[in-house]
């Protein structure tokens, strides 16, 4: 459709940008800001932020190189010179120097004298569960975004959509290797999600918790350590839950099944959906929420935890990274807390706690209750 066609139903009078944006469109205003104390600092910060956006893809690729070459891992044992790093990584000396300097600019390492040292940020990168696995996984998404215009037009076939075939239905889980690969990547980062969910949601008074789509049980494992009195159930695809028994032990009931095709077992007074909804289309989410309502008794609780869109206040982590990631998966999408609450109410629930977040880039959590 042409632009004229798109505008046909709109009023002819166009509303331009706000006054601040109009000023920012004027070159003289930028020259003025550069000369005025206070404004110059703001202008410098905005300039740096813009360039960070422009150069962000190079930063991510430099990080991938640091990970693949295990540069940060090598510095755990102690400081190393550029020459020694080049030898260990198999890089020419001059190129190792550029990569090390980039790592220092990202504040993952620093140079002291002739040697490179690991920084607290670099140490945290190696320690935070899932970060390294996430970076190693990114080349799939990078390839999908090689032609971003075609990607957003929907003219490409993203490789990422084939990486997670389990999402499209139980048939995708027929390949155990794919299920293991997905479960391992999710379990690596689940520790932070579990930590924040347990901090954001009150689990007191829950007798039996059923984690639907819970993979190999990383979340239930964390729940068991924090609330040993809660009885736990895991419901997920047969190929996925096969690896859960060793992690969870005999105290957890493992129920194989597909929430797409099978009714959810009854008997739990709380159900958790941890990073489940954003993997699926609206129709699947609506059906799953309705199934949760059917499985819970009056007064039962529904816990939803996943990265959520900022909605009216867009968030770079969720509205760029997670939104594009789910778009590449061709099935789910990143929803705001308000939108999830609306869908949850439509299934019959009452919202007990609107979406809260401690670290939006990790997760946000919402609590709903089956009305008595």
pLDDT in tens, 270-317: 999 999 999 899 999 999 999 999 999 999 999 999 999 999 999 988
Q: pTM, whole model, 2 decimals?
A: 0.81
- The predicted model gives 106-124 an average pLDDT of 95
Q: What CATH superfamily is the domain 131-369?
A: Vaccinia Virus protein VP39 (3.40.50.150)
**Does the pLDDT of residue 15 top 70, yes or no?**
no
What percent of the chain clears pLDDT 90, i.e. is strictly above it? 60
Which pLDDT score is estimated for 4? 43
Write the pLDDT tens digit of every residue in 150-209: 999 999 999 888 766 555 444 444 455 555 555 566 666 788 899 999 999 999 999 999
Dmax over CA atoms of the chain, in Å, equals 71
- Nearest-angstrom CA–CA distance, 251 and 40: 62
Q: Worst-scoring range by mean pLDDT, 28-42, 245-259, 282-296?
A: 28-42
- Nearest-angstrom CA–CA distance, 26 and 22: 7
Choice between 71 and 12, residue whose per-residue pLDDT is larger: 71
- From residue 150, give the alpha-carbon distance in Å to each of 142, 193, 247: 14, 33, 43
- The domain locations on the chain are 22-127, 131-369
How many Cα atoms are found within 13 Å in the side-chain-facing hemisphere of 179? Answer: 21
Dig out the tokens for 236 from the structure. Answer: 């997920």
Phi/psi for 157 (5° steps) reads: -110, 95
Torsion-angle region of 275 (φ positive above 0: left; ψ -120 to 50: alpha; else: beta) = left
Which pLDDT score is estimated for 249? 77
Phi/psi for 369 (5° steps) reads: -130, 140
Report which of 329, 234, 333, 341 is spatially closest to residue 283, judged by C-alpha positions: 333
**Does the pLDDT of residue 16 top 80, yes or no?**
no
**Does the pLDDT of residue 225 top 90, yes or no?**
yes
Sheet of 363-369, strand order: 252-256, 231-236, 208-212, 270-274, 301-306, 363-369, 350-359
CATH number of 22-127: 1.10.10.10
Helices and strands: H and E segment counts in the chain:
19, 10
H-run or E-run covering 177: helix 176-200
**Does the pLDDT of residue 233 top 50, yes or no?**
yes
Domains 22-127 and 131-369 share a fold: no
Average pLDDT, the chain: 86
Residues with Cβ within 8 Å of 72's Cβ and at least 6 positions away in sequence, in order, are: 66, 103, 108, 109, 118, 122, 125, 126
- The model's confidence at residue 120, banded by pLDDT at 50, 70 and 90, is very high
Write the pLDDT tens digit of every residue in 253-271: 999 999 988 999 999 999 9
């Amino acid at each position: 459709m042409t632009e004229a066609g798109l505008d046909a139903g709109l009023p002819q009078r166009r509303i331009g940008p706000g006054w601040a944006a109009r000023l920012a469109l004027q070159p003289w205003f930028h020259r003025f800001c550069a000369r005025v104390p206070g404004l110059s600092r703001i202008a410098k910060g905005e300039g740096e932020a813009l360039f960070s956006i422009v150069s962000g893809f190079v930063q991510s690729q430099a990080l991938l190189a640091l990970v693949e070459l295990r540069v940060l891992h090598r510095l755990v044992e102690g400081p190393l010179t550029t020459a020694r790093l080049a030898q260990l990584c198999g890089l020419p000396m001059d190129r190792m120097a550029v990569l090390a300097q980039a790592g220092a600019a990202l504040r993952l390492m620093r140079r002291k004298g002739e040697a490179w040292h690991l920084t607290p940020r670099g140490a945290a990168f190696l320690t935070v569960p899932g970060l390294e696995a996430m970076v190693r996984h990114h080349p799939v998404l990078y390839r999908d975004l090689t032609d971003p215009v075609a990607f957003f037009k929907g003219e490409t076939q993203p490789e990422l959509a084939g990486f997670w075939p389990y999402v499209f239905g139980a048939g995708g889980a027929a390949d155990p290797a794919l299920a293991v690969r997905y479960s391992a990547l999710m379990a690596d980062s689940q520790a932070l999600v579990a930590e924040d969910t347990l901090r954001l949601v009150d689990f007191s008074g829950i007798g039996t918790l059923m984690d639907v789509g819970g993979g190999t049980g990383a979340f239930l494992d964390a729940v068991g350590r924090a609330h040993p009195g809660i009885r736990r159930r895991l419901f997920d695809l047969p190929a996925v839950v096969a690896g859960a028994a060793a992690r969870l032990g005999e105290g957890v009931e493992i129920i194989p099944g597909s929430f797409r095709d099978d009714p959810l077992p009854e008997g739990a007074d709380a159900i958790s959906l941890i990073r489940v909804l954003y993997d699926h289309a609206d129709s699947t989410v609506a059906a799953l929420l309705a199934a949760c309502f059917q499985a819970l008794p009056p007064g039962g609780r529904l816990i939803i935890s996943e990265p959520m869109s900022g909605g009216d206040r867009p968030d770079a982590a969720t509205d760029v990274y997670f939104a594009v990631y789910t778009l590449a998966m061709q099935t789910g999408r990143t929803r705001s807390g308000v939108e999830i609450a609306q869908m949850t109410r439509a299934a019959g629930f009452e919202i007990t706690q609107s979406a809260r977040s401690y670290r939006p880039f990790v997760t946000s959590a919402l609590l709903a209750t089956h009305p008595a």
